[in-house]
Amino acid sequence: MCPACQHMVHAWRSSGMSQCCPHFYCDRCSNAIIREADKKASWGAPGSSELVERIAATLPACPCGGHFRAGANPKCPACKTQFAHPGDVVQRLSDPQVILIHSACLFSDQAPPYRVEIDEPKIAS
């Protein structure tokens, strides 16, 4: 449920056992990206703001016209309010749980884009 507009937001979240870190969201839409070079740079290395800045400087544009950014979050499709993450950008380097809002895409340099389509629950009448 969006805290700003109370819109019911359908989403999918990867398991805590996934290897979806680090991942970054678009600053305009709710698409996310995960890249092998970012994994290699962050795994086994202590997280730091310098590492975040180094990775962030190489993040590409999103197909929607926005840009993948450190600190961006998934957004409510109705009002565009960002769903806040409890960790700072350094802590997020090791967060394996990517959240994809209905119709958002996960982009990867190792696999085709993965789009999440969630059917709205049917309410019996």
Could you read off the pLDDT of 44-92 as tens digits, one per residue?
Answer: 778 899 999 999 999 999 999 999 999 999 999 999 999 999 999 999 9
- The stretches of 1-125 forming alpha helices (DSSP H) are 36-42, 49-56
Overall pTM surpassing 0.85 (yes/no): yes
Cα 91 from Cα 48, distance rounded (Å) = 9
Q: Is the pLDDT of residue 115 over 80?
A: yes
Cα 122 from Cα 125, distance rounded (Å) = 9
pLDDT > 90 in the chain, percent = 67
Average pLDDT for 28-53: 92
Nearest CA to 70 out of 45, 101, 95, 100 is that of: 95
